[in-house]
Amino acid sequence: MTSVKSLSAFERLIWTPPWVKWNPDANHDLTWGMNILFGLAASFSVANLYYSHPILNILADDFDISDQQSSLVPTLTQAGYAVGLLFIVPVGDIVRRRPMILSLIFMTSLIWLGCTLTQSFSAFLGLSFLVGLLTVTPQLMFPLAVQYAPQRHRATMISIVMSGLVFGVLVARLLSGIVTQFTSWRNVYWVSFGLQVLVWIFLFFTMPDYPALSPGTSYPRILLKIATLPFRKPELTQSSLIAFLTMGMFTSFWTTLTFQLADTFHLSTLAIGLFALIGISPVFLNPIISRLLISRLHPHGSLIIAHLLTIAAICIGTWVGTFSLAGPVIWAFFGDLGMNTIIVSNRVAIAHVDPKAQNAVNSVYMVHTFCGQLFGTAVGNALYAQGGWTWSGAFNVAQMIAGLFVLALRGPHEKRWIGWRGGWSLRKPRAEENAQTSAAQVDVEAINEDIVTEVPTEIPTEDEGTKEKVEDGVQKEEGTRDHYKKLEA
- Count of CB atoms within 10 A of residue 99's CB? 17
pLDDT tens digits along 332-385? 889 888 888 898 888 888 888 887 888 888 889 988 988 888 888 888 888 888
The whole-chain average pLDDT of the chain stands at: 80
Across residues 51-59, what is the average pLDDT? 81
Confidence grade of residue 486 (pLDDT, cut at 50, 70, 90): very low
Three-state DSSP class for residue 233: coil
Contact 173, 46 (CB under 8 A): no
Query: What is the rounded distance in angstroms from the CA atom of residue 421 to the CA atom of residue 416?
Result: 9
Query: What is the rounded distance in angstroms from the CA atom of residue 100 to the CA atom of residue 88?
Result: 10
Is-above-0.85 flag for pTM?
no
Confidence grade of residue 61 (pLDDT, cut at 50, 70, 90): confident
| pLDDT value, residue 418 | 86
Query: What is the rounded distance in angstroms from the CA atom of residue 468 to the CA atom of residue 136?
Result: 38
Three-state DSSP class for residue 351: coil
Query: What is the rounded distance in angstroms from the CA atom of residue 333 to the CA atom of residue 403?
Result: 20
Tell me which residue of 315, 154, 188, 177 sits closest to 249, measured CA to CA. 315
Reply yes or no on whether the pLDDT at 485 is more than 60.
Answer: no
Reply yes or no on whether the pLDDT at 41 is more than 70.
Answer: yes
DSSP, residue by residue, 100-114: HHHHHHHHHHHHHHH
| pLDDT value, residue 204 | 92
| pLDDT value, residue 429 | 56
Query: What is the rounded distance in angstroms from the CA atom of residue 438 to the CA atom of residue 426?
Result: 21
What stretches of 233-298 show up as alpha helix (H) in DSSP? 234-263, 269-274, 276-289
Tell me which residue of 244, 212, 236, 207 sits closest to 90, measured CA to CA. 212
Confidence grade of residue 13 (pLDDT, cut at 50, 70, 90): low
Reply yes or no on whether the pLDDT at 482 is more than 70.
Answer: no
Three-state DSSP class for residue 17: coil
| pLDDT value, residue 173 | 78
Reply yes or no on whether the pLDDT at 479 is more than 60.
Answer: no
Amino acid at 180: T
Three-state DSSP class for residue 427: strand
| pLDDT value, residue 134 | 93
pLDDT tens digits along 412-468? 878 888 888 877 777 765 544 443 334 334 443 344 444 333 334 344 444 444 444
Amino acid at 372: G
- Count of CB atoms within 10 A of residue 167's CB? 22
What stretches of 118-153 show up as alpha helix (H) in DSSP? 121-134, 137-148
Reply yes or no on whether the pLDDT at 142 is more than 60.
Answer: yes
Reply yes or no on whether the pLDDT at 309 is more than 80.
Answer: yes
| pLDDT value, residue 319 | 92
